[in-house]
Structure formats: C-alpha cells, structure tokens
Structure 1
C-alpha cells in the first residue's frame, strides 16, 4: 500500500503554492502559480479574487499530476493564506470589487485620524490588531466613505481565503487567525468585536462564522473537485493564516522559540498560551486556536527591499553579470557579494522603511534610507547595510514581544533561508542558533499538519516537532555578535532620526 500523502496549499501575496508532503514532513511535489497585484500611485494594492482562486486550483491540480500515476492521492488538504485581504461580495459570493491586500495604503488618513483621536487604542485593546491601513477594519471604513455604492450593495465581507472556501465547499466559516487579523475580532473572547463593527458600519451577520482551525473538515463540491483534480472524498481543512502556520511548520510552538520569515515582506513571531497586548500598539496578538495565540510583528520590508536595491546596482555587484535583471539572479548569489565587507558595514546603517512600515512603528508614511554614508563606502558596503538593516529591523520588533521566557532559538523560513550568508548574519546579530528546515515551505507544512491533526492521523499540534526534516543549524560567531550589539544601538538611533522627520 502506498504511503498516504497530504497537501498544504499556501495562498500568498504573489502566488499560490501547493506542496505535497509525506506524513513525516518530506516534500514529494510542489508547484506554484503566480497572479498579479494591481497597484497605482495613490497606494492601491489589489488582486482579482477569481485569478487567485483559479491559480490556487491550478497549483493543486499540477502538484497532484506531477506525482507518479499510482500515487496521485492525498489524505487531505489544509489551507494557509496571507492575512489582511478584504473584499465585498453579494448574496451568491460574487465579488463586488477586487480584494484589497495588506500593502494597500489608501486608508492611511483614516488610520491617522483614529490614532490622533485615541480611538485606535480602544480598538487595539479589544482586537490585538494595531490600527494601520493593512487592517480590514480601516479598509472597510475607507470603502464606506469613498465607495458608498459598493458598501451599501455588499451582502458579506470576507478575505480571499473565505471567498475561495465558500466557492469550493459552500462554507461561510472563517478560522480564528484570519478573523483576528481583520481588526474586527475580539481575540480574547473569540467573537466578533462590537466596537470594531460599529467603527466601520458592519454587522456580525455580514461576516463569517469564527471557528477553531481544529474544527471538522469540509467536502468539496463536484465542480471544485474537478478543478483541483481530486475526489470529492478528499477533506478540506480550513487551516489558518500564514503567520501561525509558519511557526507550526517550523516547530516553533513554545514561547522560548522565535520564528523569522522573510519573503516579499518579513515577520517575526512567537506562540503564546494566553492573549497579550503591548504598549503603544508596537506588536500584534492574534488568536490561533482556543488556547494558543500568535504574537509578533510584520514588516513591509523584506526581500522586496533587497530587490529594490538589486534593481539599482545589480550590474556592478555581480562579476560577469552580462546585463541580467533582478529576477535573473538568485538571492544567495547576490548576498554573497557582501561577504568581503565587515559586520557593521564600516559605520553605514540602513533603515529599511522604503515601503512604509508596520511593526514596530505602524506608519504607512515612514521612510528609510542610509545613515553615515560617505565617500569611503562602496556599493558592497551599501548591500551589506541593506541586508543587515532588514534583519536589525525584525530583531527590533522581537524586543517588543519579549516575555518572561526570552527566546533561546530562532527558526527561519522564507526565501532568505536559502542564502547561507544572510542566515549567518541573522545568527550573528541575534546571538542565537538559527534552525533551518529542509523545506522552506513551512506555512504549507503547517497547513498540512492541521489537516492531519483534524483527521486524527496526527496526535497533536505539538507533535509536529518530531516530523520536521531539518537542515543544518547555524550558530552565531561570538565576536561578530559583540560588534552587532553596538550596530543595533546605532540602528535604533538612526530609526529614531527617521521617525523625528515624519
């Protein structure tokens, strides 16, 4: 009899990834299907929900088709999705608009208004979600003011994952973490928050039914099963958002373990056994299950910031580049060019807020740049400072979520984990060992593990620690860590100067 496989579907910012795993965590197949983000100079960042849904189905179908013909079955499908997407639909689930995603900045004025009035603090204390343009509660109020026709016509409001699940399975359920990231959810009571609903003019009846990700699975419609290339008997597990699932897929399920993810953007997160809140809304706390929460902070600036720099300076940095563009060069090759520069980049500091910033300052109008730049610095110095700045920023967020049990280890995921030089920098700056899984698709494995847990094939969420194939562990260089302690101080000063300019 063939070993049963399980599939994790990760619906991200720019693509849907379908990853098929054995039950001990080894990747058997993976496929990716991209979709566009529609942007404009006014801060728009939207996606066509049908394009996302079709790409997700195509990714699943392609992954299953890539298996040997006698192994093209999976025991279940779990779903991970990016947070903060938001859209209005009619009574039949027909989209009335594109989905607005996390990076949309058009509601910045409303977020500023609520902060200046103090109302943002009221909402944060009840929802655990910092008030920021990323948050659907702010997006909804913006739509109510700027597009009242759509607001009045809307029967329901939902995330991209909810839209897809309703189309595939006919369910109006929403998992706790997706609900929590909306800014409309009482993260302590696991119910919709009346204060937040009042803030943007919604009613509870217009939203999904919040459920634990450990709830029973769902059945695909015949049409959806055909689109995915599976039997209607294959159960669908609701899963969660990509943040807590990345922690789960890495095995970072205790408060002494920190997960760092750098993909297009970045994030740093820890699990908590109780809901917590932070001074000045410096970090989030989202519900995950009935007795687990995820704390941490997202950064707007991850590999997208490195990509920005790469577009500016690719040719001089890579010997024999031959005019390649940013998309032609992998991160590992690019980061290798910074190896010849000493830690701290000879006093050059880079504040990476070029896309605005979420944690820890939650200011969509924030701006970054180089500090301490002089004629002695080369482009390689600038590259080193960019790589360090992205990491220093994330570790500054970690300081905001420290508990009585400080983190002793870091678990890394995302595209940056494939760059040995960048991972070594993370170990050196943090002074902690960095554990690397064999697969960088941690959110997909977390979603797949939820499927196994709901079906009873896995004993518990925590048991995943015994089913994660690990790569090497990268240990910090003590001498470099001492240098980076001073660099972090300089970085904080540079960040404060940038904030003072706003």
Structure 2
C-alpha cells in the first residue's frame, strides 16, 4: 500500500492526514499553537515554533499512529494560512515573526501609498485584485518603513507553505494561487512576477519561484528526514494556501462550485469559467492550469467566539464552553430578540474591503441575555456570509455550495447561514479540511489520483437546507445589517 501525507497549518492549530492509495484515511493528528496578537489589528505566527515544529510533530505522530514504514509514503504536501509575509535572511533564517493574512490590518496606510505610486486602476487591471489587508505587497512596504534594519537583512519574502517546502527540500517556491496574493507583484496575464510593479516594494529576486500546486518542488533532504521521520528522497509538491486546499478536499473544481470555509475567519472560493475581475472580491488562477477563481473572506468569524470566551466570559480554553453557549443561543429565537452584530472586529475583508471597519452590537437592551449575545454574533457572521454570496452570484451563476472547516460541527452556525443566505449547503463525509486536500493534491502530483476521485474519497454526506419559516425575518434584518455599516462607516473612521 502506498500513502500520501498532507499537513496544514491553521491559525490556532495544525492538522495532518495520512491517506492511502485507495482514498482511505489511515491516520489523523492535530496540534494546537498560538496566534500572537501583540496589538490591535496585529496577528503573527512564529515560523519555527508554529509552522515547522508543527509539521515535524504531526509527521512523526502520523507515522507512529499508523505504524507504516515511511518508505511507503510516496508524496508529501503542505498547506497553510495565507497570504502571510515572512522575511528571510541570507542564512535562510526567519528575521521576525510572520505577519499574517487579512486579519492583520497594520499596512492600511501603505495600501494608500502604493495605490498613489503605482495607480489603483493599473494594479487592479494587472493583478485582478485591489490592494487590501489581504495583500502581501503593502506588508513588505510596512516592513521597509517600520523595521528598516530587518528589511535591510532580508533575502526572501515567503508565506507559510513556501517556508515548509523550503525546510523540507531547500527550494523556495509558491503556487500560482498563492502568488496571486502577493499583490501588486503578480501579473495574471503572464502568470509571473512583474518587475516594474515589484521593484518599488522589494527586489523581484526576493520572491519564490512559481509552480502549479501539484507540481513536484523537490524531495525530502537529509536534515528534514532526521526531524520529521520521513524518508529522504520522498517527493514534495508545491502546495498552496489552506483555503484552496480545503476547497479541493470537498470537490470544488467545476464552474459554479463554491466553498464556504468555516474557521477562525471565513473564506470563500468559487470556480469560474474564465477570469472575472470585480473590485469587491479577489481573482486568481485556481490550482490547475486553465482554471480561474473568485475569492472572498471575512476578517473575523470563529475568532469572534474565541474573543467572546476569552474577554467577556473569561473562562478557560475548554471545548465544552462552545457547546454550552450553543445551547444558550438555541434558546434565543431567530433574530436574537432584535439584536444585530457587525462582525468587523478586525476590520473587514470582502466585499466592503475596509480595514477601519469596527465591530458593532446594535439593539442592546437590559432584557438581552448572553445567549442572545452569542446568537447575534453567529447571525452577524451569517449576514456577512450572505453579503459575499450575493456578490459572488452576480459574477458567476452558482451551482453547488460546499461547507467545510471546524465550524461545520456547529449546527447553529451552519443552519443560520443557510437560513440567512437562503442557500443549500452540501457537507462531505470528512471535514478534516485542508490537510485532506493536501494529501489528495500530493496524490495528484504523484500520479496516484485523478481529480474526479475526490467524489469517492469524500462523498456528500449531508445537505443543510434553508428553513423558509425565517426567510422574511432574516431578509428584514439583512437590510438593516447592510444599512448599519453604511450609516456608521464614517463614524468608525472618526473613532
């Protein structure tokens, strides 16, 4: 029997999957780590402690748990949170903690600077994306301005999967999907780095080589073999950002397929027939040649419930808390007794793309319970999801919506989304997520799987339908939700 190893680095934990050549899940492992928040609008990871140590621990766990001989692992794939900005020195060492994806909003001033220097419309037409807090380019500019001593020592700028692949193989690479997030450095038309757009930010040589996701980037070197338990010479594919790997894990491949990833944030990927550029969303090549995608994301989703637990309830990190709060929230009626939440606690990504947006609890009275508060947060995330899905539907007619991620285990969350957005969600049998997608992509790279094999590996197991009894209520609330931001966004900036 041959095996495929997939490991994914998330915001608060990492997961690993060992998949056999028939598509069976042989072993699963998980490891928790921190997301460092050194100040408002800041989010960071330690590349060695959180990314590389996580990979090594999970690899050894999976091998030990399964009892297989590492020689039978025929390909390895990594995915991870992204896009991130990690400066690397000349000795290939991290020079600081990694600045994370759109949840880190520190570079909002640099967005304006680069738009002024390079031209907002020029950036948008060439990259298919406006500069947002999700973009890597402004964060590199932030580094140059605020930490010039680190910038001066920098040799490479990479993200999570790129760092792991280098540790495994000694080669700096990124896939086309991940490279498109280096806005304004990536040119959609040429599928490559644009020197003219990159040079005002950093030397183009600082950026990794670009490959397709399932291309073999290299093989496990001796140093990596010694600390991971893997066999030297094992092929390693290029890998991708976690959201794209999650999409693959649930079969998002055809035009009109859309993924909702429920996690610390929420992320959306829709496969399109052709390149579609819309300034409310992000555009990119998908994972395979000749494919395109539209993406979007919330800056805060499951992370909002962690904030509520840690700062409002102030209870220890205990999984039982979320189950108990879900029960209290279920006792609150749909609409949370007239309470609405704008879940913009870290600014917001799509479709408003506003790093200065703020979180709002609207409609509070002395009659509201903490169950109402919790339900209103879940529903606020649901309204933010609907805002994105309505936008996506204007770009490409929707076929199927697939739900994936840790939040799929929360029926209150998924049902609220279906009810608020009036959408049917399909849930696959396995919700392991990006780690499963990575193992599957490793199988594609090794020639073991075909793309349609995901239907056998991970069939549809449940369908979440909208409850029409609440449609009118949620339609009314959504109208208020949309107006609430429009009527307060200037006040958010003033504050």
Aligned to 1:285: 283
Contact map agreement 1:61 1:228 (CA 8 A) in 2 = yes
Matched, 1:464 2:454: yes
What CA distance in whole angstroms lies between the structure 1 residues aligned with 2:7 and 2:293? Answer: 20
What is the 5 A alignment of 1:368-387? Answer: 368-387=359-378
CA deviation string 1:37-90 (max 9, x = no partner): 333226443322221212211111111111135798433212111112112223
SS of residue matched to 1:338: helix
Distance change >3 Å, CA 82–CA 348, structure 1 → 2: same
Query: What is the root-mean-square deviation of aligned Cα atoms in Å?
Result: 2.4
Contact map agreement 2:59 2:229 (CA 8 A) in 1 = yes
Distance change >3 Å, CA 42–CA 271, structure 1 → 2: same
Contact map agreement 2:161 2:241 (CA 8 A) in 1 = no
Q: Out of 290-299 and 125-134, give the one that drifted further.
A: 125-134
What is the 5 A alignment of 1:341-360? Answer: 341-360=332-351
- TM-aligned CA deviation for residue 313 of structure 1: 5.4
CA deviation string 1:380-436 (max 9, x = no partner): 222221111011102201222224642243211111100122222222222222111
Matched, 1:48 2:46: yes
Aligned to 1:474: 464
SS of residue matched to 1:384: helix
Aligned to 2:167: 167
Q: Out of 332-341 and 37-46, give the one that drifted further.
A: 37-46
What is the 5 A alignment of 1:313-332? Answer: 314=313, 324-329=315-320, 331-332=322-323
Aligned to 1:321: none
- TM-aligned CA deviation for residue 113 of structure 1: 3.8
Distance change >3 Å, CA 296–CA 96, structure 1 → 2: same
**Structure 1 stretches of 5 or more lacking a match?**
316-323
CA deviation string 1:79-125 (max 9, x = no partner): 11111211222333122222221233322221244457883343232
- TM-aligned CA deviation for residue 158 of structure 1: 1.6
What CA distance in whole angstroms lies between the structure 2 residues aligned with 1:115 and 1:389? Answer: 31
What CA distance in whole angstroms lies between the structure 2 residues aligned with 1:402 and 1:433? Answer: 14
Q: Out of 27-36 and 79-88, give the one that drifted further.
A: 27-36
Aligned residues: 488
Aligned to 1:268: 268
Give the TM-score of the pair, scaled to structure 1.
0.90
Contact map agreement 1:80 1:245 (CA 8 A) in 2 = yes
Aligned to 1:144: 144
Aligned to 2:215: 215
- TM-aligned CA deviation for residue 482 of structure 1: 3.5
Residue of structure 2 aligned with 1:16, choices 5, 14, 37: 14
Contact map agreement 1:408 1:432 (CA 8 A) in 2 = no
Contact map agreement 1:351 1:389 (CA 8 A) in 2 = yes
Matched, 1:28 2:50: no
Aligned to 2:252: 252
CA deviation string 1:8-62 (max 9, x = no partner): 1112223321111234544322222233333322644332222121221111111
What is the 5 A alignment of 1:109-148? Answer: 109-114=109-114, 119-148=119-148
Contact map agreement 1:65 1:72 (CA 8 A) in 2 = no
Distance change >3 Å, CA 347–CA 25, structure 1 → 2: farther
What CA distance in whole angstroms lies between the structure 2 residues aligned with 1:312 and 1:229? Answer: 40
Distance change >3 Å, CA 411–CA 308, structure 1 → 2: same
Contact map agreement 2:383 2:478 (CA 8 A) in 1 = yes
Residue of structure 1 aligned with 2:429, choices 414, 438, 441: 438
Distance change >3 Å, CA 475–CA 72, structure 1 → 2: farther
Matched, 1:415 2:413: no
- TM-aligned CA deviation for residue 299 of structure 1: 1.0
Distance change >3 Å, CA 425–CA 36, structure 1 → 2: closer
Matched, 1:485 2:492: no
Contact map agreement 2:105 2:347 (CA 8 A) in 1 = no
SS of residue matched to 1:489: helix
What is the 5 A alignment of 1:56-135? Answer: 56-68=55-67, 73-102=72-101, 103-114=103-114, 119-135=119-135
What is the 5 A alignment of 1:174-185? Answer: 174-183=174-183, 184-185=185-186
- TM-aligned CA deviation for residue 199 of structure 1: 3.5
Q: Out of 390-399 and 84-93, give the one that drifted further.
A: 84-93
- TM-aligned CA deviation for residue 334 of structure 1: 2.3
Contact map agreement 1:5 1:21 (CA 8 A) in 2 = yes
- TM-aligned CA deviation for residue 251 of structure 1: 1.0
SS of residue matched to 1:75: strand
SS of residue matched to 1:385: helix
What is the 5 A alignment of 1:220-259? Answer: 220-259=220-259
